[in-house]
Amino acid sequence: MLLWFAVVAPVIVAEVFRSPLVDYRLVALGALLPLVEVVAGRVFVLHTLAAPVVLLTVVMLATTGRRLLRRRLLGIPIGLFLHLVLDGTFTSAELFWWPLFGLSFADLTVPEADGVAVRLALEVVAIGVAAVAWRRYGLDDPAARERLVRSGHLPSTVRTIGGR
């Protein structure tokens, strides 16, 4: 489910924060990070609320007095938080609230591993979200695409869909 996380998380952040200066590449990276555990075949800390909370704390403490660096790095814990929402981790209290219900990960499963049909459907939805976002954020303009690739920033103006 690469596209589901890599596309939908940055679009959610873009729509909620409406900031052209967020590094959306790092939001996508944060949203994709827990997939390392999927490749390993088991869940661990990246699928818990503890991971983004600890990372957010580290970013906030490590970037005191460095506002621009902080703004950039905040994308990673935000992406991690969104991964927990987008894969439904919050539906497993033992996993989401780890270590409150015990320290073991032995009996816990990776939410992304459930059902090939669901995963495929979410990838198709992500393609649709990407198509809408492509137009909404003006990524048909080569300069806007270049800016996104080089800085992670979206254009400051957002197009409305349907001419409104």
DSSP string, 109-131: --GGGS-HHHHHHHHHHHHHHHH
Does residue 162 have a pLDDT over 60? no
Q: Say how far apart CA 11 and CA 129 lie, in whole Å.
A: 8
* 44-53, 111-120, 152-161: range with highest mean pLDDT: 44-53
CB 75 within 8 A of CB 22: yes
User: Mean pLDDT in the chain?
Assistant: 89
pLDDT at res. 164: 46
Tokens matching residue 15: 């729509």
Q: Say how far apart CA 112 and CA 105 lie, in whole Å.
A: 16
Q: Give me the sign of the Cα torsion angle 70, 72, 73, 78.
A: positive
CB 103 within 8 A of CB 53: no
Is the model more confident about 20 or about 93?
93
Does residue 93 have a pLDDT over 60? yes
Quick one: how far is CA 120 from the chain centroid?
Answer: 18
Residue 160 confidence class, pLDDT cut points 50, 70, 90: low
Q: Where are the domains of the chain?
A: 2-151
Please name the residues in contact with 142: beta carbons below 8 A apart, sequence gap of 6 or more: none
Is the model more confident about 103 or about 55?
55
Does residue 16 have a pLDDT over 70? yes
Does residue 145 have a pLDDT over 60? yes
119, amino acid identity = R
Q: Say how far apart CA 98 and CA 34 lie, in whole Å.
A: 15
Does residue 157 have a pLDDT over 70? no
Task: Provide the whole-model pTM.
Answer: 0.89
Q: What is the mean pLDDT of residues 34-62?
A: 92
